[in-house]
């Protein structure tokens, strides 16, 4: 029987960052992952030699001194990572109805660009974006408060957060911006948390917008590059990564013989194959529903059971993984994201996405389109580009499509075929050149999310990020079960950076230190960042690797011929 200081269930960004922090502190850690590769939403996979990263489409805060850069440098993995800066003039393309509006990197550039497009809103744009930046700054200031003087001045130093913290996004933006189209542009990143303006917490949305104010970045090697850097570091510090094996349950001390009041101490896990692994503590990187299913509801307090029952989970999705035989730049695609939606009423759009049966219409109303082979030029083989396309759907509505339990598999295949046809219809209208040159299309559904990521109802962002499930109302790193902790998208925030920071937070809780102590500045670490749109600035080794890749493809095609 193996025994560890800490077992981490799930190898998403949160689980890996927690494992790395604990391993660096000298703990013997084991990360257990049900999938055959580590990474959770950060993992990558291949279809016909083309790489896709389903959960990593862009990351913010990567410039020197910014939060995500500080995280990777502090974790000691920055030297292993290379990022490409997405189109700095338009890292977000907003295709709203017939309008085409770009969002450039840099808050001053954004103010200038939008003010030219909406001159009557110039004053409101400047004031609103300044407020967003200020509220985000104050939000991240709170965890750093320490000592008498900080406690005395906290009310003043977070006064904007206090003033606007209880409001929804729709209400606050309505006080500053009047033009409906401009509101939609400024709210386009609601897609990054999955809630419409009428439901989104304003402070939470501020933090998300601020994360991307200086643009979007994409890792060379896709999401798997981040996973590889973390797992390599964990192994260097003596940690273990176990893949292809699922945890059946979290073991509690003498659970069978003790009363519920005393059987509340985690001592290890039992795997699906019956193997027992003991540990002084357990961290779950799974969402709350999945975590406490492994604990057993009979071992939970009435208060926690009530919270679990009331917990809402974020949207689920359809994902399309596409390869095309063409130069997609000719179709107007670059390294920036495309947010396609039919009109300006974002609340109505979200309601339509989640309420209307996905098989009733012949086209998708809204899509997120990402070209990973332009975001990461090294992934381009010289001929075929790769696209990842996402739209949100309602989980219950999707499951309702299965009308005959005896024909589930056949129904599933027919549904996927119909969804592919629907996407092709949409592309035929909005991207006709791409439509004509698609050579492969694969569909990922909520069932895919459940199977590979083990997310409740196939959710993509953990718990729903409404006001009552974020900040002080979110699930905490330390649970009511002694020696059982949690991390991941449901604890602090979602996304690669948010989940990673949650792992640091959980590790700090265990080690009895501050988060800052675990990610201290390391002058020996430095991220390499290159402009995806400007090959003249790339180092020679990138050009050489691209040339070698193209040569291998041409050689392979010649041999096939």
CATH number at residue 253: 3.50.50.60
Of 162, 192, 214, the residue at which a domain comes to its end is 214
pLDDT at 1: 61
What average pLDDT does this structure show over 471-483? Answer: 92
Give the pLDDT band (50/70/90) at residue 161: confident
Query: Given a cut of 70, is residue 180 above it in pLDDT?
Result: yes
Sheet holding 384-393, edge to edge: 99-103, 92-96, 337-341, 367-371, 384-393, 316-325, 438-444
pLDDT at 142: 65
Q: What are phi and psi of 400, to 5 degrees?
A: -70, -15
Q: What is the mean pLDDT of the chain?
A: 92
Same domain, 512 and 443: no
Same domain, 329 and 427: yes
Return the higher-pLDDT residue of 145 and 363.
Answer: 363
- Convert the pLDDT of each residue in 283-329 to its tens digit: 999 999 999 999 999 999 999 999 999 999 999 999 999 999 999 99
The answer to whether position 91 is within a domain reads no
Question: Percentage of residues in the chain with pLDDT exceeding 90?
Answer: 80
Same domain, 392 and 470: no
Query: Given a cut of 80, is residue 40 above it in pLDDT?
Result: yes
Query: Given a cut of 80, is residue 64 above it in pLDDT?
Result: yes
Packing angle of the helix pair 169-176, 122-141 (nearest 10 deg): 140
The answer to whether position 473 is within a domain reads yes
Q: Which two tokens stand for residue 440?
A: 């492969």
Q: What are phi and psi of 291, to 5 degrees?
A: -60, -50
Contacts for 543 with CB less than 8 Å, ≥ 6 apart: 535
Of 198, 214, 230, the residue at which a domain comes to its end is 214
Same domain, 378 and 411: yes
Give the pLDDT band (50/70/90) at residue 154: low
**Least confident interval from 256-265, 426-435, 509-518:** 256-265
Same domain, 319 and 450: yes
Same domain, 35 and 15: yes
Alpha helix locations (H) across 199-335? 202-212, 223-236, 288-295, 302-310
Q: Domains in the chain: how many in total?
A: 4
Going by the DSSP 8-state scheme, the letter that residue 98 receives in this structure is T
- For residue 385, give its domain range: 315-460
Please return the burial class of 153, using the count of CB atoms within 10 Å of its CB with bins 0-12, 13-18 and 19+.
exposed
Query: 294 with 18: CB under 8 angstroms?
Result: no
Q: Please name which of 21, 56, 7, 78 lies closest in space to residue 505, comparing C-alpha atoms.
A: 21
Query: Given a cut of 90, is residue 258 above it in pLDDT?
Result: no
Q: Please name which of 167, 155, 228, 185 lies closest in space to residue 95, comparing C-alpha atoms.
A: 185
- Convert the pLDDT of each residue in 481-506 to its tens digit: 999 999 999 998 999 999 999 999 99
Same domain, 502 and 410: no
Same domain, 326 and 433: yes
Same domain, 255 and 344: no
What average pLDDT does this structure show over 249-255? Answer: 85
Distance CA 168, CA 187 (A): 12
Between the two ends of the chain, the Cα-to-Cα distance in Å is 55
Return the higher-pLDDT residue of 228 and 167.
Answer: 228
Return the higher-pLDDT residue of 1 and 427.
Answer: 427
The answer to whether position 490 is within a domain reads yes
pTM of the model: 0.94
Residue 382 φ/ψ region, left for φ over 0, alpha for ψ in the -120 to 50 degree band, beta for the rest = left
The answer to whether position 87 is within a domain reads no
- Measured CA to CA in angstroms, residue 235 lies from 131, 150, 481 at distances of 43, 39, 28
With H, G, I as helix, E, B as strand and everything else as coil, classify residue 91. Answer: coil
CB atoms within 10 A of CB 360: 6
Give the pLDDT band (50/70/90) at residue 39: very high
The answer to whether position 193 is within a domain reads yes
Of 163, 192, 214, the residue at which a domain comes to its end is 214
pLDDT at 408: 86
The answer to whether position 34 is within a domain reads yes
Distance CA 151, CA 80 (A): 39
pLDDT at 453: 94
Same domain, 185 and 196: yes
pLDDT at 397: 86
The answer to whether position 270 is within a domain reads yes
What average pLDDT does this structure show over 88-117? Answer: 97
The answer to whether position 93 is within a domain reads no
What average pLDDT does this structure show over 4-8? Answer: 98
Going by the DSSP 8-state scheme, the letter that residue 66 receives in this structure is S
What average pLDDT does this structure show over 154-164? Answer: 74
Same domain, 418 and 389: yes
**Least confident interval from 204-213, 228-237, 465-474:** 465-474
pLDDT at 2: 77
pLDDT at 165: 83
Give the pLDDT band (50/70/90) at residue 356: low
What average pLDDT does this structure show over 247-264? Answer: 73
Query: 168 with 202: CB under 8 angstroms?
Result: yes
What average pLDDT does this structure show over 269-284? Answer: 96
Give the pLDDT band (50/70/90) at residue 415: very high
Distance CA 517, CA 74 (A): 9
Give the pLDDT band (50/70/90) at residue 472: confident
pLDDT at 166: 84
What average pLDDT does this structure show over 190-208? Answer: 94
Same domain, 448 and 548: no
Distance CA 514, CA 20 (A): 16
């Amino acid at each position: 029987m193996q025994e560890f200081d800490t077992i981490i269930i799930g190898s998403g960004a949160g689980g890996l960052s927690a494992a790395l922090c604990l391993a660096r502190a000298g703990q013997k850690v084991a990360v257990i992952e049900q999938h055959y590769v580590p990474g959770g939403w950060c993992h990558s996979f291949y279809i016909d030699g083309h790489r896709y990263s389903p959960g990593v489409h862009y990351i913010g805060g990567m410039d020197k001194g910014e939060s995500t850069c500080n995280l990777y440098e502090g974790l000691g993995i920055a030297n292993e990572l290379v990022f490409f800066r997405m189109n700095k003039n338009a890292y977000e393309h907003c295709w709203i109805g017939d309008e085409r509006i770009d969002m450039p990197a840099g808050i001053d550039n954004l103010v200038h660009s939008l003010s030219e497009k909406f001159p009557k809103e110039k004053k409101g744009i400047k004031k609103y974006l300044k407020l967003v930046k200020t509220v985000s700054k104050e939000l991240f200031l709170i965890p750093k408060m320490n000592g008498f003087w900080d406690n005395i001045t906290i009310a003043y130093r977070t006064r904007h957060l206090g003033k606007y913290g209880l409001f929804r996004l729709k209400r606050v933006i309505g006080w500053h911006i009047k033009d409906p189209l401009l509101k939609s542009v400024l709210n386009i990143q609601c897609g990054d948390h999955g809630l419409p303006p009428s439901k989104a917490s304003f402070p939470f949305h501020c933090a998300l917008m601020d994360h991307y104010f200086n643009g979007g970045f994409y890792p060379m090697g896709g999401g798997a590059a981040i996973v590889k850097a973390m797992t390599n570091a964990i192994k260097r510090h003596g940690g273990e990564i176990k893949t292809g094996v699922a945890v059946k349950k979290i073991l509690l001390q003498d659970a069978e013989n003790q009363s519920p009041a005393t059987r509340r101490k985690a001592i290890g896990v039992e795997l699906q194959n019956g193997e027992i692994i003991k540990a002084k503590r357990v961290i779950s990187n799974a969402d709350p529903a999945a975590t406490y299913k492994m604990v057993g509801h009979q071992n939970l307090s009435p208060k926690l059971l009530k919270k679990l029952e009331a917990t809402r989970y974020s949207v689920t999705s359809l994902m399309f993984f596409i390869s095309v035989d063409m130069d997609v730049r000719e179709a107007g695609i670059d390294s920036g994201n495309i947010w396609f939606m039919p009109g300006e009423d974002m609340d109505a759009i979200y309601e339509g996405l989640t309420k209307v049966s996905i098989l009733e219409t012949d086209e998708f109303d809204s899509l997120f389109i990402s070209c990973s082979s332009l975001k990461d030029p090294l992934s381009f083989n010289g001929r075929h580009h790769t696209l990842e396309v996402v739209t949100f759907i309602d989980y219950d509505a999707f499951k309702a499509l299965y009308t005959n339990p005896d024909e589930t598999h056949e129904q599933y295949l027919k549904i996927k075929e119909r969804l592919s046809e629907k996407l092709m219809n949409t592309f035929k209208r909005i991207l006709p050149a791409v439509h004509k040159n698609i050579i492969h299309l694969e569909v990922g559904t909520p069932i895919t999310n459940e199977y590979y990521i083990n997310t409740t109802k196939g959710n993509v962002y953990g718990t729903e990020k409404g006001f009552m499930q974020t900040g002080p109302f979110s699930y905490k790193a330390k649970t009511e079960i002694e020696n059982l902790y949690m991390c991941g998208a449901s604890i602090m925030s979602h996304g690669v950076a948010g989940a990673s920071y949650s792992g640091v937070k959980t590790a700090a809780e265990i080690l009895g230190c501050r988060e800052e102590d675990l990610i201290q500045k390391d002058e020996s670490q430095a991220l390499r960042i290159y402009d995806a749109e400007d090959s003249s600035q790339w180092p020679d080794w990138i050009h050489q690797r691209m040339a070698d890749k193209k040569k291998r493809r041409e050689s392979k095609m010649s041999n096939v011929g």
